């Protein structure tokens, strides 16, 4: 008798499960149940549909029901909602939304790919027209109709996560004035540490995005026609014709809970490595399940299309008799934000410390390829490692240059438990158009190795800013050239210019008992200066990680900048 496989959910994990199951078993009866009218919608592309980079909504629909039936012999029930699971009878109760008619469908193996839902707090005025989330193609189309041709002037995005930043770019591209409200203290607070986020925030401000941190929204106000007119926060009121709620998602677990399946501590459906739920004949994958974080071993949510598709392949294999496992994730994310490419993997420094790790870090500015090859673009790398053994814990890469390949290298390294020693000696591709002889990842790994053995000692930009603010008694030694000094510098009364080329001959200008913090453009010269002073017997010398290139605060500009290192 042919196996009956029923799949609830038709976005990413569900269709992938179905396609894989069919390839593994040509006789199985496979049915996908999807409550929306369309199947396999590429929801990750919605911001680009709003911006117009993707012109037609049809480009976001990867496969239709006809394809699944004609090519894959898979039945698809669109505009159909699964309303209950009878585990004892192995039956799913379904509702045809168009006809308001109920029916049942039997299964031997059941797959839950129910996805997630955007968080919408119970704020006053949330029912006003002009307030959106972004999880469905219809929402993206409604926003696009307001901005192209432009019918609105001001938008407020609530939440500075990846969706919020991608949508800021999409709206600005249509000439809309955008304010971004974040309850925490910097952009991408769940992904990036402060220094990296601040580097990105400067770019957002340059693009005209107004950033409001540390403010929680309390409600909305509307006009006499029921349209949004204001977004109200704890501290202010913002005029707005459109508001986007982008504060996160929650897994859709209602069906699973009602059926008595186990829910994990994260709020997602609990699954084993084979993606089976607490009922061995019911599998689950995608946004609705919890995953193992390969760095910490802890359970997390990972609502990404990439993860959902990997889940789908595993599930499709196993519901047809296979024995494939899914080990977990390392928290890889990347996004395009205006002219910057922003990516991260593993743990941030703050997350690692909260997890109980004693960490060592490096903040290294660099270029996407050889500096002498034309048109190179900047990137900045932050590495986080375990202090005791150098095991990599995470990385963040931001800038207009190529960050994606660095994030992918780090994702691979973290997956296999690599250390900074491993990374420093990884045989990455090199030719001037593609990379430097030492990739910025190599440099960052070597900075950590130098710190481990005591050759390098550094303070973060935040630590130096605090010392300056408190008017601390230290020498802020700038070892750049006079031309660079005259062009721009970090504002600090403790600053002293002493170019690196003159340092060895002017050591007597520096008190040997003073604390000295060294700065240059990207820390290369600052580290060299620290070693010179160490060798001359100075005992309290450090440099600033990343130096001016990574400085997230205001600089003092005198005239156009000279070429830096």
Listed in sequence order, the residues at least 6 apart from 560 whose beta carbon sits closer than 8 Å to its beta carbon are 487
Beta-strand ranges (E) seen in 387-442 are 392-399
Token pair in block for residue 457? 């000692």
Residues 459, 195: Cα–Cα separation, whole Å: 12
Q: What is the DSSP string of 500-556?
A: HHHHTT-GGGS-TTS-EEEE-SSSHHHHHHHHHHHHTT--SEEEETTGGGG--S-EE
Which of 13, 24, 44, 288 is catalytic? The answer is 44
Biggest CA–CA distance in the chain, Å, is 91
Of the CA atoms within 13 Å of residue 419, those in its CB half-sphere come to 9
- Radius of gyration (C-alpha) of the chain in whole angstroms: 27
Closest CA to 526 of 486, 473, 475: 475
Residues 25, 431: Cα–Cα separation, whole Å: 46
State whether the Cα torsion 513-515-519-523 is positive or negative: positive
Residues 489, 548: Cα–Cα separation, whole Å: 8
Q: Residue 282: enclosing H or E segment and its boundaries?
A: strand 282-284
Token pair in block for residue 405? 């390949």
Give the 3-state DSSP-derived string for 237-280, with helices as H, strands as E and coil as C.
EEECCEEEECCCEEECCHHHHHCCCCECCCCCECCCCCCECCCC
Token pair in block for residue 14? 């569900």
24 is catalytic: no
Query: Which class for 88: exposed (0-12), middle (13-18), buried (19 or more C-beta within 10 A)?
Result: exposed
Q: For residues 158 and 63, is the Cβ–Cβ distance under 8 A? A: no
Residues 328, 342: Cα–Cα separation, whole Å: 22
Token pair in block for residue 372? 């002498």
**Phi, psi torsion values for 207, nearest 5 degrees:** -85, 5
Active site residues: 44
């Amino acid at each position: 008798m042919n196996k009956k496989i029923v799949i609830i959910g038709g976005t990413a994990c569900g269709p992938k499960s179905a396609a894989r199951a069919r390839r593994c078993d040509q006789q199985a009866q496979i049915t996908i149940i999807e409550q929306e009218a369309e199947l396999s919608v590429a929801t990750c592309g919605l911001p680009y549909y709003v911006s117009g980079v993707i012109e037609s909504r049809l480009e976001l629909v990867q496969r239709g029901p006809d394809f699944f039936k004609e090519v894959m012999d898979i039945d698809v029930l669109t505009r159909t909602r699964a309303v209950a699971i009878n585990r004892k009878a192995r039956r799913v109760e379904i509702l045809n939304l168009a006809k308001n008619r109920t029916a049942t469908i039997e299964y031997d193996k059941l797959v839950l790919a129910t996805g997630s839902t955007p968080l919408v707090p119970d704020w006053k005025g949330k029912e006003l027209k002009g307030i959106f989330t972004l999880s469905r193609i219809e929402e993206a189309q409604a926003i696009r109709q307001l901005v192209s041709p432009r019918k609105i002037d001001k938008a407020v995005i609530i939440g500075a996560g990846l969706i919020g930043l991608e949508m800021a770019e999409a709206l600005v591209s249509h000439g809309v004035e955008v304010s971004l409200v974040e309850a925490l203290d910097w952009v991408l607070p769940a992904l990036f540490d402060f220094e990296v986020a601040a580097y990105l925030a400067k770019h957002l401000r340059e693009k005209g995005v107004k950033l409001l941190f540390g403010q929680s929204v309390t409600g909305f106000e509307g006009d006499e026609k029921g349209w949004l007119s204001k977004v109200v926060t704890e501290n202010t009121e913002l005029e707005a014709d459109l508001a986007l709620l982008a504060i996160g998602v929650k897994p859709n677990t209602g069906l699973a809970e009602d059926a008595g399946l186990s829910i994990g501590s994260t709020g997602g459906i609990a699954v084993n490595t084979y993606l089976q739920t607490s009922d061995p004949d019911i599998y689950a994958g995608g946004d609705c399940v919890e995953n193992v974080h390969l760095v910490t071993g802890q359970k997390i949510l990972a609502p990404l299309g990439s993860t959902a598709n990997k889940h789908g392949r595993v599930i499709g294999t196993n519901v047809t008799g296979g024995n494939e496992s899914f080990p977990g994730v390392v928290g890889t994310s990347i996004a395009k934000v205006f002219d910057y490419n922003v990516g991260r993997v593993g743990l941030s420094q703050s997350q690692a410390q909260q997890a109980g790790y004693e960490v060592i870090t490096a903040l290294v500015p660099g270029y996407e390829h050889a500096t002498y090859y034309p048109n190179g673009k900047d990137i900045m790398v932050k590495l986080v490692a375990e202090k005791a053994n150098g095991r990599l814990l995470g990385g963040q890469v931001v800038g207009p240059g190529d960050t994606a390949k660095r994030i992918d290298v780090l994702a691979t390294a973290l997956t296999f438990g690599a250390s900074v020693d491993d990374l420093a000696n990884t045989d990455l591709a090199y030719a001037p158009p593609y990379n430097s002889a030492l990739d910025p990842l190599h440099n960052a790994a070597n900075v950590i190795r130098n710190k481990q053995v005591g050759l390098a000692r550094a303070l973060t930009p935040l630590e130096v800013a605090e010392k300056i603010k408190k008017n601390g008694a230290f020498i802020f030694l700038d070892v750049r050239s006079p031309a660079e000094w005259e062009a721009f510098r970090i504002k600090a009364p403790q600053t002293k210019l002493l170019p690196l080329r003159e340092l060895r001959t002017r050591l007597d200008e520096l008190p040997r008992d003073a604390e000295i913090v060294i700065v240059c453009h990207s820390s290369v010269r600052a580290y060299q200066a620290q070693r010179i002073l160490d060798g001359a017997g100075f005992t309290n010398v450090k440099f600033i990680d990343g130096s001016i290139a990574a400085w997230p605060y205001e600089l003092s500009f005198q005239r156009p900048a000279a070429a830096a290192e």
